[in-house]
C-alpha cells in the first residue's frame, strides 16, 4: 500500500482484531521500529542546531482573515525580533501564519509536518532546510517538546489540545523544564479553564492548585511575547546563549 493509498477507518479497525502469525508480527513491527528510528534520527539531526525556538500551536483550519491568524503572525514576528526561531506543525491556518511571521521577520522558520490523508500540507513560509515530514504523531511531538524553549497555543481543535496537554503534562511531571506555556485568546479558553478549576481541581481534586501556574492566558501578541522575554530575563538568559 503506497503513501497515497491510505487504509480506511474500517480497514484499520478490522486489522486490530485480526489474528496474525508470529512472522507477520515480527516483520511488520520490525520495519515499523526502523521507520520510527529513522524519523527520530532525521529530526534530531535537523533540529539540534537551530538554537532557541518557540513552538506555536493552533488550528489548521483558521482562515487568513481570522483575527487569530493575524495574532499568530504578529506573535511570530515579534518573537524572531527577540532572537527566537519559530517551530510549527508546518501546515496551513495558524501554523502558516506563524511561519509567515517568522519569515517576514527574517527569523528561523521550522515546519514539523505530518503526513495525513486530508487537511495537512506544508505551507510555503518554512525554511527549505527546516521542513521535516513525519508519519508518526508521537515522534513529531517529541520534536515539538525537545527543541522549544516555550509554547504558544492559539485556538485549535483536538490536535492543538493534544499538543497543549502534552506540554503541560511533561512540565507537571518534571520530564522537561518549566518552560513558559501561553494560551492566546481568553474568550476561547474560558470554558475549558472554568471546567478545570471547578471540576478537575475543586470537585475531583485531580490536580493541585499549583498546576494552574504552569500556563498563562493572554489576549494580545505583546502580552504573549513579553511573557516569554520576562520569563528568561529572570534567569539572565537570552536567545543568543
Q: What is the CA radius of gyration of the chain?
A: 19
Whether the per-residue pLDDT at 235 is higher than 70: the answer is no
521577520: which residue's cell? 105
Strands 181-184, 215-218: pairing is parallel
Summarised one tens digit per residue, pLDDT across range 172-188 is 999 998 999 999 999 99
Q: Give the pLDDT score at 31.
A: 83
Q: Give the pLDDT score at 6.
A: 65
Summarised one tens digit per residue, pLDDT across range 191-215 is 999 999 999 999 999 999 999 999 9
Question: CATH number of the domain at 38-233, please?
Answer: 3.40.50.450
Summarised one tens digit per residue, pLDDT across range 52-108 is 999 999 999 999 999 999 999 999 999 999 999 999 999 999 999 999 999 999 999
Q: Please tell me the distance from the alpha carbon of residue 24 to that of residue 27, in angstroms, as a whole number.
A: 5
Q: Give the pLDDT score at 12.
A: 62
Determine the Cα angle at 140 with ends 138 and 145, to 5°: 95
Q: Give the pLDDT score at 21.
A: 72
Q: Please tell me the distance from the alpha carbon of residue 226 to that of residue 224, in angstroms, as a whole number.
A: 6
Summarised one tens digit per residue, pLDDT across range 209-234 is 999 999 999 999 999 999 999 999 88
Q: Give the pLDDT score at 240.
A: 46
Mean of per-residue pLDDT scores for the chain: 90
Mean pLDDT computed over 165-173: 96
Summarised one tens digit per residue, pLDDT across range 100-158 is 999 999 999 999 999 877 656 899 999 999 999 999 999 999 999 999 999 999 999 99
Q: Give the pLDDT score at 30.
A: 82
Q: Give the pLDDT score at 15.
A: 66
Q: Please tell me the distance from the alpha carbon of residue 156 to that of residue 133, in angstroms, as a whole number.
A: 21
**Which residue ranges make up each domain of the chain?**
38-233
HSE value, Cβ hemisphere, 13 Å, CA-based, for 126: 21
pTM of the model: 0.85
Whether the per-residue pLDDT at 3 is higher than 70: the answer is no
The residues near 167 (Cβ < 8 Å, ≥ 6 apart) are 144, 145, 151, 179, 181
Q: Please tell me the distance from the alpha carbon of residue 31 to that of residue 240, in angstroms, as a whole number.
A: 40
Q: What is the dihedral of CA 161, 73, 127, 181, to 10 degrees?
A: -40
Q: Please tell me the distance from the alpha carbon of residue 30 to that of residue 206, in angstroms, as a whole number.
A: 38
Q: Please tell me the distance from the alpha carbon of residue 176 to that of residue 167, in angstroms, as a whole number.
A: 9
Q: Give the pLDDT score at 8.
A: 72
DSSP category for residue 236 = T
Amino acid at each position: 500500500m503506497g503513501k497515497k493509498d491510505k487504509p480506511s477507518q474500517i480497514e484499520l479497525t478490522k486489522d486490530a482484531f485480526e489474528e496474525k502469525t508470529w512472522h507477520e508480527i515480527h516483520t511488520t513491527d520490525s520495519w515499523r521500529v526502523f521507520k520510527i528510528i529513522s524519523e527520530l534520527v532525521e529530526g534530531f539531526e535537523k533540529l539540534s542546531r537551530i538554537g532557541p525556538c518557540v513552538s506555536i500551536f493552533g488550528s489548521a483550519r483558521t482562515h487568513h482573515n481570522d483575527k487569530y491568524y493575524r495574532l499568530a503572525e504578529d506573535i511570530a514576528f515579534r518573537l524572531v525580533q527577540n532572537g527566537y526561531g519559530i517551530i510549527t506543525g508546518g501546515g496551513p491556518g495558524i501554523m502558516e501564519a506563524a511561519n509567515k511571521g517568522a519569515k517576514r521577520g527574517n527569523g528561523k522558520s521550522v515546519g514539523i509536518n505530518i503526513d495525513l490523508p486530508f487537511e495537512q500540507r506544508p505551507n510555503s513560509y518554512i525554511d527549505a532546510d527546516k521542513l521535516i515530514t513525519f508519519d508518526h504523531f508521537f515522534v513529531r511531538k517529541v520534536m515539538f517538546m525537545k527543541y522549544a524553549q516555550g509554547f504558544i497555543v492559539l485556538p485549535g481543535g483536538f490536535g492543538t489540545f493534544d499538543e497543549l496537554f502534552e506540554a503541560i503534562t511533561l512540565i507537571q511531571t518534571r520530564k522537561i523544564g518549566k518552560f513558559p506555556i501561553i494560551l492566546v485568546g481568553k474568550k476561547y479558553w474560558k470554558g475549558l479553564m472554568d471546567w478545570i478549576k471547578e471540576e478537575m481541581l475543586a470537585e475531583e481534586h485531580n490536580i493541585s492548585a499549583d498546576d494552574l501556574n504552569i500556563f498563562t492566558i493572554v489576549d494580545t501578541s505583546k502580552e504573549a511575547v513579553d511573557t516569554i522575554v520576562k520569563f528568561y530575563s529572570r534567569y539572565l538568559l537570552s536567545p543568543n546563549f
